[in-house]
Amino acid sequence: MDMKKFKETALGGVLNNPVFVLVLGMCPTIGMSTNVTNALGLGLATAFVLVFSNVFISLLRRVIPDKVRLPSYIIIIATFVTLVKMFLEKFLPSLNVAIGRFIPLIVVNCIILGRAEAFASKNSVGYAALDGLSMGLGFTCSLVILGGVRMLLIMAGFEVFKTAAGGFITLGLLMALFNYLLGIYRNSRKAKLLLNGGDAL
């Protein structure tokens, strides 16, 4: 296994974080992050669909004709979403009441189709599964962080953070913070590389 590619794929969830960097899948992020439980539930449901759709699309990548690839991907994704929906209805009815509205919408979550098109359709099964896991967990973590911040603010008495407006503003501020930290990280790496001779740049 190529070590560099492995590391890059595994770190994809952080360095190419779906929410904060790629800005994909915003709707469930804002809609379902009023508390940590909902955020975790929806994040894990999305991660499950992402891993399995990535694996199946990667397995079928030589079978699916190029012209009908998008409809085929959507059907694969919709199948797994339906499975998640059935699972929640049967085993976690209370969570289903809270996040059920957003479960069918996982089908049109741009992260999943985006990873299918950009990664799973071009890579082997192992990497596709790893990418799905990394991206899925990256998405879940962002949702939980956002949910945690909003929950604290709501508990502190800022009722506005319960509404969509609060979601938009919290996410905007967190994204700016993430950009700021990522900027510092990139600058420090650049400085380190320059100290070591600078050829690697």
Q: Tell which phi-psi region holds residue 110, choosing left (phi > 0), alpha (psi between -120 and 50) or beta.
A: alpha
Distance CA 201, CA 198 (A): 6
Q: Is 200 in the site for other proteins (CB under 8 A)?
A: no
For 57, phi then psi, to 5°, come to -65, -40
Site string for other proteins, 135-174 (x = CB under 8 A): ------------------------xx--xxxxxxx-xxx-
CB neighbourhood size of 152 (10 A): 12
Cβ nearer to other proteins, comparing 89 with 191: 89
Min separation Cβ 168 and other proteins, Å:
3
Q: Give residues 35-94 in contact with other proteins (rule: CB under 8 A).
A: 70-71, 74-75, 78-79, 81-82, 85-86
C-alpha to C-alpha distance for 191 and 172, rounded to whole angstroms: 29
Cα 93 to Cα 103: distance, rounded to the nearest angstrom: 13
Residues that bind other proteins (CB under 8 A): 23-27, 30-31, 70-71, 74-75, 78-79, 81-82, 85-86, 101, 104-105, 107-110, 113, 159-160, 163-169, 171-173, 175-177, 179-180, 183
